[in-house]
Structure 1
Amino acid sequence: MRMLHTSDWHLGRSFHREGMLTHQGVFVDHLLEVVERERVDLVVVAGDIYDRALPQVDAVRLASEALARLAASRARVVLTSGNHDSAHRLGFGSELIDAAGVFIRTDASRAATPILLEDEHGPVAVYGIPYLDPDTVREPWQLPARSHAAALGEAMRRVRDDLARRRGARSVVLAHAFVAGRAEDEVRSSDSERDISVGGVSIVPTSVFDGVSYAALGHLHGRHTLAETIRYSGSPLAYSFSEASQRKGSWLVDLGPEGVTRAEFLDAPVPRPLATLRGDLETLLGDPALSCHEGSWVQVTLTDAVRPHQAMDRLRRRFPHTLLLGFESTVPVLGALPQAHGPSRRDRDLVADFVAELRGAPASPDELALLGRAVDACCEDTDVDMLVGAGAPVDEEWSEVLF
């Protein structure tokens, strides 16, 4: 049996206000091309079909189109809900949709009820475990602890009980969770993943999936191979600049008579590459080596000692798709301002000194004029000062405000 493992579509998500629905549609086209070209028998989607529980209309339309096209393809499809999905909304009509060869599993109580498929080597039991909220399943399942490990561990106990009655069947399990092996194993999350920790703990050990022919995982947006039989496909598109170095795509997995015989990662189309640039503005604008990023989505951190004027506009003339701009001055961290000696200094002078110390250069005349107007607008009420200074009585409430 040839299987295509994908997850975390997040249909409807934007990338720093850039719409991604067109690019997500291109991925769906790619997915169908792979199914036909590679003669895929089973497509598994391990959660987070949508980006939010109440998806926008266009995202629902794309999901409907994708599932209809998959139903008409040569492949069977099993998909589960993730922590971004509404299990009830995604699972609506699933019993009817089963008849089309698209199996949507969003109900935790059905996690141990497999979709039974056959190939030349015999039966394959596919278990779709939706995202399990520990608080939701703890009481009905009588869990010993409030944790993802306890919830998924109980689901897998039920799966093994069912699998034990199906002698000789190979097994595929879909799960949506933060899974890692040893504490020292490097499994990196990205900024676009929603935190699912409970009490600060989110990790599920890989041992939960012992004995399973293949565990198709979702939730982490980077691809990871935790074991030959336990993998994350990651998201098909990058959804944050923290994913700039990640390869995006799906796992093509062959199941032989004893389990996995081959796993190959197939790259997904890249709508626009990501780049994170750092340096002073003039260097970034003039460095010919950066020409390869002129068509990329760009995040820039400027290190100029003095914040450049109209920096974003100037960057976008060379890098039109600059989306994020940050400043990290090379000037030392602001310390205490020099103590004034002699007569009290004017507020305007103190603010001007603050700007010069923070920036490493004095404010321009126009900036000083603007700062002066801001200071004047924040001055205390001179009428109140005069009353207090003249010895006029002040009640306790006003005393707290003034002093």
Structure 2
Amino acid sequence: MRVLHTSDWHVGRTFHGRDLLAEQESVLSGLADLIADEHVDVVVVSGDLYDRAVPSGEAVETCVRVLGRLRAAGAQLVVTPGNHDSAARVGAFGEFAAAGGLHLRTRISELHEPVLLDDEHGPVAFYGIPYLEPDPARQVLDSHADVPGASPIEERGHQAVLTEAMNRIRADLEARGEPRSVVLAHAFVTGGDASDSERTIAVGGVDDVPGAVFDGVDYVALGHLHGPQRLAEHLRYSGSPVAYSFSEAAQRKSVWLVDLDATGLHDVRRHELPVPRELATVRGELEALLTEPEYAAYEDCFLSATLTDEVRPLDGMRALQERFPHAVHLEWQPAGGRATAELRYSEAVRGRDDTAVADGFVADCRGSEPTEGERALLAEALHAVQLAEVRE
């Protein structure tokens, strides 16, 4: 059996305010060709199908189209929710969807019940562990203590609830005669490298769990971290299909092709995904960025720029976007650093009238004194405030 391991689609996510639905649909729909070319039997999505618990109508429509194309390409689909998803919404009509080849494993109380899919060697058990928010998950698991392998959860945290989940899964595998197995889990496993775009799942300062928690199964398809990673031969993150932060600029987005033979895990191959728009970061004075030929290669990239002008340029982003229409992030770090000393508020305003305080604020923020025209505007604003205070 050949399995395509994906995760963290985050359908509906934006990139610094830019809509990504078209890019997401392009990359994800392209997996249909991979399914056909590689004769993939099953596609797994290990959490964060959507970027928010209540996705927009456009995000839902995009996701439905993508899942439909993957199913039409010939693969069964197994999906479990992540920390960005609403498990109840993702799992709605799950019993009906399964009849069409879309298996939604969203209920904590049923995480030990696998999707059984057959090949020429017999069944493969796919277990979906939804994202387990520790305290609510503990309550659900403890309320279903009649499940084989169940035991009271004595401790708090991700490790405790995931350990209990895996104990129930291993007990179910034993009862079924130890068929080949794949576990989908959305978690931060020790040794994984995080990116800036992942939402923290820390509880009490601890968010990671040891990989040994997942021992006893043939393959663990992890989700949550956005970079593709191999923690062990059978324990991997596929990462997100597109980049969601500039910290991911060097990552080569990919999916894993996982082959199971008669005895279990046989081979895992990496397949890189197309990049709908490259990410780039530049640093320099605004005039140089707008005129120097060496920056031409970045004109079609999502761009993060750091301006080093001594004085903060006015409308810097607007000027930057004249050359780089996909510039989305701008910082100002004047060359040589800020010369002004940091003062407490009381020290900064001591002995100064309102006009001097306002002038000083502009100078501190921009690196240059306000112009005469700007001083006139500040004076007019202060006068309006004073009139309002008199009326009150």
Q: TM-score, normalised by structure 1?
A: 0.85
Q: What's the offset of the Cα at 1:206?
A: 0.5
Query: Partners of 2:214 and 2:84 in 1: how far apart?
Result: 23
Matched residue, 1:178: 188
What number of residue pairs does the alignment pair up? 375
Q: What's the offset of the Cα at 1:168?
A: 4.9
1:157 aligns with 2:164: no
Matched residue, 1:321: 326
Q: What's the offset of the Cα at 1:158?
A: 0.4
Query: Partners of 1:57 and 1:345 in 2: how far apart?
Result: 54
Q: Which letter does structure 2 place at the counterpart of 1:209? A: F
1:215 counterpart SS class = strand
8 A Cα contact 1:123 1:168, kept in partner: no
Q: Which letter does structure 2 place at the counterpart of 1:177? A: A
8 A Cα contact 1:331 1:359, kept in partner: no
Of the structure 1 ranges 10-19 and 28-37, higher mean CA displacement relative to structure 2 is found in 10-19
Query: Partners of 1:347 and 1:104 in 2: how far apart?
Result: 62
Q: Which letter does structure 1 place at the counterpart of 2:208? A: I
Query: Partners of 2:353 and 2:98 in 1: how far apart?
Result: 76
1:136 aligns with 2:143: no
Q: What's the offset of the Cα at 1:106?
A: 0.2
Of the structure 1 ranges 274-283 and 200-209, higher mean CA displacement relative to structure 2 is found in 274-283
Q: TM-score, normalised by structure 2?
A: 0.88
Query: Partners of 2:74 and 2:136 in 1: how far apart?
Result: 37
- Of residues 288, 291, 294, the one that matches 1:289 is 294
1:149 counterpart SS class = helix
Query: Partners of 1:17 and 1:351 in 2: how far apart?
Result: 31
2:58 counterpart SS class = helix
Distance of aligned partners of 1:206 and 1:375 in 2 relative to their CA distance in 1, 3 Å threshold: same
Q: Which letter does structure 2 place at the counterpart of 1:229? A: H
8 A Cα contact 1:26 1:269, kept in partner: no
Alignment of 1:43-192 (within 5 A): 43-140=43-140, 141=142, 142-180=152-190, 185=191, 187-192=192-197
Q: What's the offset of the Cα at 1:198?
A: 1.4
Q: What's the offset of the Cα at 1:334?
A: 2.9
Distance of aligned partners of 1:375 and 1:124 in 2 relative to their CA distance in 1, 3 Å threshold: same
The share of aligned pairs that are identical, in percent, is 49
Query: Partners of 1:383 and 1:133 in 2: how far apart?
Result: 54
Matched residue, 2:20: 20
- Of residues 239, 242, 245, the one that matches 2:247 is 242
Matched residue, 1:252: 257
Query: Partners of 1:221 and 1:9 in 2: how far apart?
Result: 10
Larger radius of gyration: 1
Deviations, residues 123-159 of structure 1 (Å, cap 9, x unaligned):
3211111111212121342421221111111000001
Q: Which runs of 5+ in 1 are unaligned?
A: 385-403
Matched residue, 1:387: none
Matched residue, 1:397: none
Q: Which runs of 5+ in 2 are unaligned?
A: 143-151
8 A Cα contact 2:29 2:70, kept in partner: no
RMSD: 2.5
Q: What's the offset of the Cα at 1:228?
A: 1.1
Distance of aligned partners of 1:210 and 1:272 in 2 relative to their CA distance in 1, 3 Å threshold: same
- Of residues 209, 215, 221, the one that matches 1:210 is 215
